Amino acid sequence: MTDQAIALSPELIQNSDAVAGQWKLIWRRFRRHRLALAAGVVIFLIYLVALFAEVLAPVSSQTYDSRYTYAPPQQIKFAGYDAAGQFHPLYVNGYSMKVDPIALSRNYVADPAVVIPLGFFVKGEPYRLWGLFNFDRHLIGPIEMGKPFYLFGADRLGRDVFSRTVHGTRVSMSVGLIGVAISLILGIILGGISGLYGGWVDDVIQRSIELINSIPTIPLWMGLVAAVPISADPLLVYLWITIILSLIGWTDLARVVRGRFLSLKTEDFVIAARLDGCSQMRIIWRHMVPSFMSHIIASVTLAIPTMILAETALSFLGIGLRPPVVSWGVLLQEAQNILAVSSAPWLFLPGLAVIITVLALNFLGDGLRDAADPYEY
């Protein structure tokens, strides 16, 4: 019995929380947070959509067909036959169009007699994947090019809302990611300087943060965005919007970093590093920042939804990104028209992508925040 206990003890010791490292403890605690784990999978899939948008979208974001303006969403059906009796495992029904004599509008209804067979990795519009590779395959689409295929319906120009939502994922998610990256750098540098040096430097930085936070957000965004010329290149507008959101979004992270620096600068390992002759930058980046990196990751995860909502709000108001750039906020501009929404409620579907993404990021951030301090039970 004693020999067995001695033989098993190394494994037991290795798996014990008492000797596990910080990151291992964080992962163990995060795995117990089922909702955060599921949210992490959702966010991973959303970024995969952003990465392979051209492959996943049946058509490009600018492709239109004026014959199908405000066409309703088509339902994918399984195992059916066309008029010739040919079997199709996957298909959608085509449209039959009627003109409303009173409203003088076109109304589309599904026509069971028209069968449009679908396939996977079908040949479609050519594109350059990541600007590097010429490709013409799409994950799903009609086998015969040119046939109508609108999973989320069509907009006022006959453009596929689903394809535009998929393409908009790249812009909206990258704005959040790049914006938070810039905010992270500003927050760590300014918050670190504020917490480490204190005195008048701390007062200046903290009063600046309070000044920025005291200004109403929407007017501040509008004032900064007004400086961007209307005729500017869409890519330049994208960069400006990202920088503007970053310049406003660094304040909360800077306060978190300042608080951590204030609590850590009197710790024994920081004093020992200073007495050992380490430079100030080495103490900050080699000793202090890694000790609360888990908290920074949690704060960054919770900051990304704010960036995404900010870009969506600006674009929805018409002062953010503008066509031909496609983002979720730009797509929701179509929903500003009450007449369009009453006849085409599927124009709100890009808003569903915003809701799912923001909720998933918040759940993920909550899980990371709970797991960030694995020694607290």
Radius of gyration of the chain (CA): 27
The pairing of beta strand 106-129 with beta strand 133-142: antiparallel
- Write down the pLDDT at residue 20: 58
Q: How far apart are CA 263 and CA 13, in angstroms?
A: 32
Residue 355 vs residue 322, higher pLDDT: 355
Say how far apart CA 35 and CA 366 lie, in whole Å. 9
N-terminal to C-terminal alpha carbon distance within the chain? 33
pLDDT at 377 over 50: no
Asked if pLDDT for residue 293 goes beyond 70, the answer is yes
Token pair, residue 156, equals 């006022």
pLDDT higher than 90, residue 144? no
Instruction: Examine the pLDDT at 12 and tell me if it is beyond 60.
Output: no
pTM, rounded to two decimals: 0.80
Report CA torsion sign: 272, 276, 281, 287: negative
Is residue 5 pLDDT above 70, yes or no?
no
pLDDT value of position 216: 80
Phi, psi of 125 (to 5 degrees): -65, 135
Q: Which of 1.10.357.10, 1.10.3720.10, 3.30.420.40, 3.30.43.10 is the CATH number of 44-49+165-371?
A: 1.10.3720.10
Beta strands in 20-165 (DSSP E): 77-81, 87-99, 106-129, 133-142
* Residue with tokens 């304040």, as numbered in its chain: 251
At residue 339, the pLDDT reads 64
Closest CA to 175 of 253, 240, 120, 110: 240
Residues 269-278 as b or e (16 or more Cβ within 10 Å = b): ebeebeeeee
Lowest mean pLDDT among 37-46, 76-85, 220-229: 220-229
Q: List, in sequence order, every residue forming a beta bridge with 90; answer none if it has no partner.
A: 78
Q: Average the pLDDT over 128-153 and give the result.
A: 86
Q: Is 160 helix (H, G, I), strand (E, B) or coil?
A: strand
Q: CB–CB of 328/350 below 8 Å? A: yes
* DSSP 8-state secondary structure symbol assigned to residue 356: H
**Quick one: tokens of 39?**
């949210």
Domain boundaries for CATH 1.10.3720.10 within the chain: 44-49+165-371
